[in-house]
Copies of this chain bind each other. A is one copy, B any other.
């Protein structure tokens, strides 16, 4: 216990200790049945006599705040209720000025707004969420990952360089994992050398590191419109301007961008060409080639977000932008979070040229390195060949979930329009008659189903008639029931609009 005592204070030390502990109890911080340090321990740690501590404790006991248990120690008494909120009750005028100023120039964190919206809905029992995962998934290879973790811990005891997590040439990640990732990417048509692979904590960190290295306030970034909402938050937090290029069934409308590149060239192009979030579309091969060629001609780096590129269940494979890169033009971000288990939080970047070392420095100042233990476990999992088996298994299950949602939408929500995605996990649904999904959301919650209103995904002007349904995080039965509720909610919603 570190109690802030003042030795030359007019208040006796035993009294200082007694007051400190009493305040902790009254504030609900020291809860009933907590054992206090022994006289000896506390005296030693504060550099005072044991008698002083004994005096403080007996004062507390006479107040009824603590009681002694023979041979066991001193404990907080029961009669005081803990007041968990009491530390929160500082009113805003008590904050120092610098804290109050933070409120005035905060950037708008749309994910916090969304989190609040979903949080209010989440209390409802039996809620089915097409917004985010709210149940564990039987698809997760829990037992295999448990084994991989155990193997990683064992390898830590044997391997000289193990479990250290730091060390030369390891700042970019555990080298055997980088090798395995390079092999996987290469067989997927993205020729990759392990020394160009850098491990990080999920693809969001990849985006953040690239942004930190390349962007400064006022820069322009070209993005798809709509695009991944947390990428929008990231760019907004850096005071970067966004130029949104519309997406159609063939992905970003690349043929529209050249005039922008000529007039005010962006500092970065951010794109999710495969199973685009939120629309689920894939950029056509022609547009991919055109985008890489334009970026090359106008000297603009491309950040390719391939967060679920290999979660395809049908249709033709287009080359990754990185596969079309003549050298050092495209920075590629991949992830294992969606595929294996979100709580692993392992992703990777592929980049060559001078930027690699800069990204590495940026990672180091951000959080040194990603957990070596998780890296080893992941490598263990991948290298014994479970990866491809698992990928096939997951793709099949996701296809089934998509089919279930498609059929249910045809049956229960015939007015909606959507394009069936060929991979990933999202259906981008358009309401008829330009009805607003922001308004529809509240009707849906009342029926026990949620989604993400499409307006969260727009970098500029928000279109309201779309919504994003995540079918991947639910099993078929829940999908069917959720869509049924969605259909009910829509009938009530459209009836209410007619009445208006």
Q: Mark A321-348, 1 if CB is under 8 A from B, else 0.
A: 0011001110000000000011111000
Is A145 on the interface with B (CB-CB < 8 A)?
yes
B-facing residues in A113-154 (Cβ within 8 Å): 115, 118-119, 122, 132-136, 140, 142, 145-146, 149-150, 153
| Chain A interface bracket (under 10, 10 to 19, 20 to 34, 35 or more) | 35 or more
Q: How far is the CB of A48 from chain B (nearest CB, A)?
A: 9
CA distance A195 to B29 in the complex (A): 12
Is A491 on the interface with B (CB-CB < 8 A)?
no
B-facing residues in A159-200 (Cβ within 8 Å): 159-169, 171, 182-183, 186-193, 195-196, 200
Q: Which of the residues B189, B237, B343, B358 comes within 8 Å of A361, measured between beta carbons? A: B237
Residues on B with C-beta less than 8 A from A142 are 153, 156-157, 163
Q: Which residue of B lies closest to A164 (CB)?
A: B133
In the assembly, how many copies of this chain are there? 2
B-facing residues in A1-15 (Cβ within 8 Å): 1-7
Is A49 on the interface with B (CB-CB < 8 A)?
no
CA distance A195 to B90 in the complex (A): 14
Q: Which of the residues B133, B358, B367 comes within 8 Å of A202, measured between beta carbons? A: B367
| CB-CB under 8 A for A189 and B2, given A102-B355, A374-B374 | yes
> Which of A57-65, A293-301, A427-435, A459-467 touches B?
A293-301
Residues on B with C-beta less than 8 A from A98 are 214, 299-301
Q: Which residue of B lies closest to A129 (CB)?
A: B167
**B201 & A163 in contact (Cβ 8 Å cutoff):** no
Is A68 on the interface with B (CB-CB < 8 A)?
no
**B24 & A191 in contact (Cβ 8 Å cutoff):** yes
CA distance A92 to B195 in the complex (A): 17
**B149 & A153 in contact (Cβ 8 Å cutoff):** yes
Is A51 on the interface with B (CB-CB < 8 A)?
no
Is A253 on the interface with B (CB-CB < 8 A)?
no
**B168 & A122 in contact (Cβ 8 Å cutoff):** yes
Is A315 on the interface with B (CB-CB < 8 A)?
yes
| CB-CB under 8 A for A29 and B353, given A3-B319, A4-B319, A136-B156 | no
Q: How far is the CB of A15 from chain B (nearest CB, A)?
A: 16
Q: Which residue of B lies closest to A112 (CB)?
A: B361
| CB-CB under 8 A for A133 and B30, given A187-B1, A365-B230 | no
CA distance A1 to B191 in the complex (A): 10
Is A109 on the interface with B (CB-CB < 8 A)?
yes
Is A260 on the interface with B (CB-CB < 8 A)?
no
Is A45 on the interface with B (CB-CB < 8 A)?
yes
Q: How far is the CB of A301 from chain B (nearest CB, A)?
A: 6
| CB-CB under 8 A for A234 and B369, given A2-B189, A118-B168 | no
Is A94 on the interface with B (CB-CB < 8 A)?
yes
Q: Which residue of B lies closest to A208 (CB)?
A: B366
**B90 & A328 in contact (Cβ 8 Å cutoff):** yes
Residues on B with C-beta less than 8 A from A100 are 354
| CB-CB under 8 A for A201 and B204, given A165-B345, A168-B119, A319-B3 | no
Q: Which 7 pairs, one residue from A and one from B, show the smallest C-beta to C-beta distance?
A: A2-B189, A4-B319, A47-B316, A119-B168, A343-B372, A205-B367, A165-B343
Pairs across A and B, CB under 8 Å, 9 listed = A2-B317, A30-B186, A30-B187, A84-B193, A95-B327, A102-B355, A149-B149, A202-B368, A230-B368
Having A90-B328, A204-B365, A345-B367, one finds 10 other A-B pairs with CB under 8 Å, namely: A2-B190, A3-B319, A7-B285, A27-B191, A45-B316, A98-B301, A119-B169, A122-B167, A134-B167, A373-B374
